């Protein structure tokens, strides 16, 4: 084997498919029954639920940042997607009710209606995000660890490179405060960031914000027909077509190191596989603290852990509901917050996704899926007896349903199916330490400068996915996958 990839999250799958089309012999090992990780799915009583992600960027048709479109095209696979006309409908404190329309000017008008005195500042802030986006969207997005590529990009697009270098150490909060004074509007920008970065604006890198705040109006948010799980299923199809292999229920217990070089992996059943390069799509905590049989984790990983910590996981409600529960014109994605002070707290911000509004075939006729999730820490669910755990899940579920009743009156009586997942569920089924959503800065860092790339301090071992540059989200981990495959292809001389 040339390359073993541990884990079939979108980061692992993009790495594997990219390498397979470049001619590498690739083996992908997945502990679970299906691919996708946090972008997977499960089926119950006629409903097909997304386990996590459902607001999908990266399916645009133009530019270079449409990395999910590109990853599928690379293996000659088509996936039908359904455009979402509104990215998010926010239900915020003090009656702020704002829709982020796909059409940029409509969104600006919605926001300016609440903050007419900040008209100019709002436009200046979001226009600055567009500048970042246009720089990114004009360049081929590959490994920043590859000097030839950096040089080539610089000669081809010097202004974009210099522009991006300027924004790399900046955070959204600092840029926003240059243009905006109203504290309530700055709080709105906090939740605009928090809902994908899980940190407020002052800690959210400007590069990521440039992507999210602009691409939602450019390539747009698009939902895969058949559910988010289709992305991984289709990438696997492409991997096999390109000559790669995948094994399910193949849990890697350790990465084998010989002469300080990663040379293979051992599964929990004892089976050993060897390859020239090993890629871990597990989180950095799982990779360095569990899969490597070392006395101590490498010092640069320790330094990284001093800068970044695990974000909380989520408490998830997967519901099947009667169609009449949803008022006509309901949007697919909602965010609810009743008190600004609780934005980052456990059960503070409530995320809601109703994918059947875009693809009705995910539920039986006359019914919808509602996926509601809110931050929750694993320690809140530990040390409980099975009956205590079940009781706690039920209490938590009704607290969430009560909150949702405010936007969907009659939800309680219209409930047809309910399944509750906790951080322990995420840890178990997604193989993520403490069920974390991913790394978040411990304190205000300089933009994205501290996020590690794909190479590690162990020769032959690479990481890919949301604990590498540029962070969480399907399009972001696809970027990480393109970069990882690029670096490995150069290392292998492909
Ligand atoms: C509730 C929730 C909502 C989200 N919403 C969105 C959204 O709307 N839009 C968006 O873009 N993103 C969203 N995200 C984030 C997004 O889903 C993740 O950032 C992304 O899917 C992570 O991909 P990854 O490649 O890093 O790895 P993962 O998805 O974590 O996949 C890693 C894979 O590796 C496997 N694995 C781990 N350890 C081993 C081992 N030892 N042996 C074999 N296999 C192993 C796992 O089983 C898993 O399949 C959401 C996440 C969650 C949890």
Ligand 1 atom index nearest CA of 250: 43
5 Cβ closer than 6 Å to some ligand 1 atom: no
Pocket lining: 52 vs ligand 1, CB cutoff 6 Å? yes
Q: What is the reported pLDDT for 155?
A: 93
Q: Are strands 308-310 and 47-50 parallel, antiparallel or unpaired?
A: unpaired
Q: Is the minimum distance from the CB of 252 to ligand 1 under 6 angstroms? A: yes
* pLDDT value at residue 125: 98
* Cβ–Cβ under 8 Å, residues 372 and 396: no
254 lines ligand 1 (CB under 6 A): no
At 53 the pLDDT is 84
- Which residues are CB-contacts of 309 (< 8 A; sequence separation ≥ 6)? 439, 440, 441, 442
Query: How far does the centroid of ligand 1 lie from the alpha carbon of residue 427, in Å?
Result: 11
For ligand 1, whether the C-beta of 285 sits within 6 Å is no
What pLDDT does residue 448 have? 84
Residue nearest to atom 16 of ligand 1 (CA): 473
Query: Residue ranges of the chain with pLDDT lower than 50?
Result: none
Q: Indicate if ligand 1 lies below 6 Å from the C-beta of 473.
A: yes
CB 39 near ligand 1, within 6 Å: yes
CB 325 within 8 A of CB 408: yes
Mutate to test the pocket of ligand 1, among 31, 49, 53 (most ligand atoms within 8 A of CB): 53
Give the CATH fold of the 3-80+224-308+442-492 domain. Answer: FAD/NAD(P)-binding domain (3.50.50)
Strands 308-310, 277-280: parallel, antiparallel or unpaired by DSSP?
unpaired
CA distance 354 to 367: 11
Q: Which pLDDT belongs to residue 296? A: 75
Whole-number pLDDT of residue 450: 86
Give the residue extent of every domain in the chain: 3-80+224-308+442-492, 118-219, 313-376+382-421
The string of pLDDT tens digits covering residues 176-206 is 999 999 999 999 999 999 999 999 999 999 9
pLDDT for the residue numbered 449 = 85
């Amino acid at each position: 084997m040339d390359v073993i990839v541990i884990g079939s999250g979108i980061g692992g799958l993009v790495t594997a498919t990219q390498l397979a089309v470049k001619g590498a012999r690739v083996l992908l090992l997945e502990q679970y029954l299906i691919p996708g990780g946090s972008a997977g799915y499960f089926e119950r009583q006629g409903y097909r639920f997304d386990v996590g992600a459902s607001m999908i960027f990266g399916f645009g048709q133009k530019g270079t940042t449409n990395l999910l479109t590109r990853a599928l095209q690379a293996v000659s696979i088509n996936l039908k997607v359904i455009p979402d006309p509104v990215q998010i409908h926010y239900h915020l404190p003090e009656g702020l009710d704002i829709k982020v329309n796909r059409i940029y000017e409509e969104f600006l008008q919605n926001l300016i209606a609440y903050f007419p005195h900040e008209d100019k500042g709002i436009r200046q802030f979001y226009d600055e995000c567009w500048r970042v986006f246009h720089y990114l969207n004009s360049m081929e997005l590959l490994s920043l660890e590859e000097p030839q590529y950096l040089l080539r990009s610089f000669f081809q697009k010097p202004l974009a490179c210099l522009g991006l270098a300027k924004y790399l150490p900046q955070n959204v909060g600092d840029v926003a405060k240059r243009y905006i004074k109203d504290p309530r509007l700055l709080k709105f920008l906090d939740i605009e960031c928090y809902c994908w970065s899980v940190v407020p604006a002052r800690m959210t890198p400007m590069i990521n914000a440039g992507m999210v705040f602009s691409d939602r109006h450019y390539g747009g948010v698009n939902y895969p027909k058949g559910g988010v799980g289709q992305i991984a299923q289709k990438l696997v199809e492409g991997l096999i077509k390109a000559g790669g292999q995948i094994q399910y229920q193949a849990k890697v217990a350790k990465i084998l190191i010989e002469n300080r070089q990663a040379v293979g992996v051992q599964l929990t059943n004892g089976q050993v596989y060897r390859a020239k390069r090993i890629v871990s799509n597990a989180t950095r905590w799982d990779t360095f603290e569990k899969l490597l049989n070392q006395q101590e984790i490498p010092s640069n990983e320790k330094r990284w852990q001093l800068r970044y910590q695990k974000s909380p996981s989520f408490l998830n409600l997967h519901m099947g509901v009667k169609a009449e529960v949803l008022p006509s014109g309901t949007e697919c994605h909602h965010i609810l917050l009743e008190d600004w002070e609780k934005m980052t707290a456990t059960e503070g911000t409530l995320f809601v996704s109703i994918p059947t509004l875009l693809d009705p075939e995910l539920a039986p006729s006359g019914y919808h899926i509602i996926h509601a999730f809110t931050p929750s820490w694993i320690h809140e669910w530990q040390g409980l007896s099975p009956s205590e755990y079940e009781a706690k899940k039920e209490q938590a579920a009704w607290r969430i349903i009560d909150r949702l009743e405010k936007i969907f009156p009659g939800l309680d009586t219209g409930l047809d199916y309910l399944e509750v997942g906790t951080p322990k569920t995420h840890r178990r089924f997604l193989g993520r330490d403490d069920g974390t959503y991913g790394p978040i800065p411990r304190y205000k860092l300089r933009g994205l400068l501290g996020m590690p790339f794909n190479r590690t301090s162990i020769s032959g071992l690479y990481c890919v996915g949301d604990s590498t540059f540029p962070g969480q989200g399907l399009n972001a981990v696809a970027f990480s996958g393109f970069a990882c495959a690029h670096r490995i292809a150069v290392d292998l001389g492909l």
